[in-house]
Amino acid sequence: MRGPASTYLAAALLGAGFVWLLLPLEVLLGTGAVWHSPPDDLAQNLTGHLAFQQEPWQWPPLLARTLRWPEGVSIALTDSNPLVSVLAKLAASVTGRPVNLFGAWLGLCLVLQPVAAVYLVRSLGAKSPEAALAAAVVALSFPALLARIGHENLGHINLVGHFLVLLGLGWSIRMVGGGGGRWWHAMALATVTIFIHPFLFVLLCPLFAAPLIACVLARRGVACALAGFVASTAIPYGLFAVLAGVTGGGDFGYGHYSMNLASPFWPQRSGVFGPDLPVIDATAGQYEGLNYLGAGGLLLLAVAVGLLLSGRATFPPWRLWIGHAAVLLVLTGLAVTHKAYLGPWPVVSIEAYVVERVMGPVRASGRLFWPVAYLLAIVPLAIVAQRMRRPWAMVVLAVAALLQWVDAAPLRAAVQAYATTGVDRSGGVALPARATLLTSVSSCGAPAPATGPMDRLRLDAIRAGIALTEIRLSREPTQRSCEVATSDALELQLRPGEVRAFLGDKVQASLRSDLLGPGARCLRGAVVTLCTADATAGGEVAAPGAAVLPLQPGQVAEGDALEPYLGWGWVRDREARYWSNGPRAVLLFRMPRLADGAKLRLRLEVEGIGARDGRPNRVLASVGPNVWSATGQAAQEMTLADAQVAAMPLEIAPVGEPGSIVRVVIQIPEPVDPRVRGKPMPVRWAGIRLHRLTVLPGDPVAP
């Protein structure tokens, strides 16, 4: 076998050898410690992967109803690799039990990585065997790739598909250079990519803009290129939206999970310069922007620059490659964001709320540099292979490949440790045998490391056939509110067969056993507290948190006296006034004994917080018992003037027996970001400020 076929086969064999060296067989087969007790994100991905296989096919096809039961949620939002999960579901229909194909996917990524690198370097015109071999080794030892698996236990297994980025680069280059790339190729690749991981699709779409820009500059074939670009981006996205049923929204973090300007060039976790060199991180989130080129990549870049400066190599025609240059420049700017750092020093720091909201779906922007990083290593490799005399080129390529391999040794060791070692679960708590439903509660916006115990508990539940009412999503639907879900889990009574798991200091401090219903039992583990109404479950009868107190006609509460009646969603300021924090704030109290037919009349004195000075804010208040089946009274709508105290009257009919708990839910449909308002506030999202609660004198209390 000769020619390109033999080159690609050799690259695939190199990738297979790399897999054999790096990963045990049980990992590839979907067994082993890492699958039994996976860390954070991998536990989330695997939960969706297994839950999807346990259910019959339904519409939309990627829906799993046991995730966020009873409505369900798409596994596209748990980053469970829908393409691989569909294949697993087909296999499960034959075997009769769920199968874990993530190990096979990981092995496939590492086999295809050098093959795609060979495709890219050949697209750049370097077709010698030594160029292909060097490209394969450099790509397999690329820090940004290995960091997705092992560095800091990220475990982004579906983002290991870097071969898709390399293929996208090669395809776009061939379309520009007339090397056989076609728009239908781009559309096919984009379709496969979005059903593996949407972020990889986000990386591909700009690359396909480069051929369009080249056609515009050449004033030739513009209409065809425009139609091809639209088809290769819009059709895959539309198909994904239909089959997933949802695409998810954005989140905060753009500007935090960015790339440091020094990251591509400064050694990090380096086998050549020092394995203990930390990742450059000025924001505590720039590990997402680890884009070190490696010692071999830096050598190739330096030699290529020298060749260009000496005149032994020339720049290609600018009209041909200006599209790629523009796209890569934009990706670099988006990766470093509007809060750019060079090492620990800020270079640019702009407060841009609108930018952060628009870029919310790609908040981990440091990853956007991956195509740039690969080209910074592979393009110089192609220049060296084509512009140096072959004996010298072979020496430079061999040294670069060796340096890259040695430099990646610490990251390879981290991958091996990650793949063969599960997470220590000592101090954890077991789910009760009779449980049928798990509700998990953690602080909204908790740092990623804190989610690990809850992610693994949810995975245990799915394996045990227990449905989940909540699961952490990578892209939360815009209509979903973490604060609302947390409020319900803290304040509504336990349902039959339900277990509630509470994680995080804030949530556990808010836990009040009065609200969970009679007979609630809780077992506190090292980090998670489990509560259930099952009398056969372990643990003691719960009595944490303050008791829920009754209100009596004529009672007035303000300042600290409001505290016993406040549920989720309030923050106290220095003036002893309470701010709503988020889209919901709750009042809780026990119903007093009233005369027959009497009603409890409340007056809340509240101050509205508008998005701008003088702009009113709309709120809705509803009342009902603290049980899941309650529909409550119709919501009462009120418009509150900005920064003015107004009375909000509430009339409450008896809810259940005297002593039963009443829940007043105040919804703020459009909470205000203090940064937009330009006004300091003690909350992340403001709506109202509560000054006083008065129970109006009403019908006499029955004896």
Q: What is the mean pLDDT of residues 185-214?
A: 94
Name the token pair of 208: 């396909």
What SS3 class is residue 623? Answer: strand
- Is the Cα torsion angle 359, 361, 366, 371 positive or negative in sign? negative
- Is the Cα torsion angle 21, 24, 25, 31 positive or negative in sign? negative
> In the chain, pLDDT over 90 holds for what percent of residues?
55
Lowest-pLDDT range, 150-154, 338-342, 380-384?
150-154
The domains of the chain are located at: 4-30+101-264+271-419, 437-541, 556-695
Q: How far apart are CA 527 and CA 546, in angstroms?
A: 21
pLDDT winner (highest mean) among 316-325, 443-452, 535-544: 316-325
Name the token pair of 557: 């509460």
Please report where in the chains the tokens 């604060």 appear, as a residue.
483
Alpha helices in 245-369 (DSSP H): 294-310, 318-336, 353-358
In the chain, how long is the greatest CA-to-CA distance? 104
Q: How far apart are CA 693 and CA 703, in angstroms?
A: 25
Specify the DSSP element, H or E, that contains 661. Answer: strand 661-667
Q: What is the pTM of this model?
A: 0.90
Tell which residue, 191, 188, 176, has the closest CA to residue 317.
176
Q: What is the mean pLDDT of residues 300-328?
A: 83
> In the chain, pLDDT over 70 holds for what percent of residues?
92
368 pLDDT exceeds 50? Answer: yes
pLDDT winner (highest mean) among 79-93, 312-326, 343-357, 467-481: 79-93
pLDDT tens for 31-66 read: 988 898 888 788 999 999 999 999 999 999 999 999
Q: Is the model more confident about 452 or about 291?
A: 291
Alpha helices in 442-531 (DSSP H): 452-463, 482-491, 505-510, 513-516
Burial class of residue 554 in the structure, from the number of CB atoms within 10 Å of its CB (0-12 exposed, 13-18 middle, 19+ buried): exposed
pLDDT tens for 673-689 read: 887 788 889 998 899 99
**pLDDT confidence band for 703 (50 / 70 / 90):** very low
pLDDT tens for 422-438 read: 777 666 678 888 899 99
pLDDT tens for 536-548 read: 666 555 556 788 8
**pLDDT confidence band for 315 (50 / 70 / 90):** low
What pLDDT sits at residue 318? 60
Quickly list DSSP for 226-248. Answer: HHHHHHHHHHHHHHHHHHHS---
What pLDDT sits at residue 423? 75
Protein fold of 556-695: Jelly Rolls (2.60.120)
Q: How far apart are CA 692 and CA 680, in angstroms?
A: 22
The mean pLDDT value of the chain amounts to 88
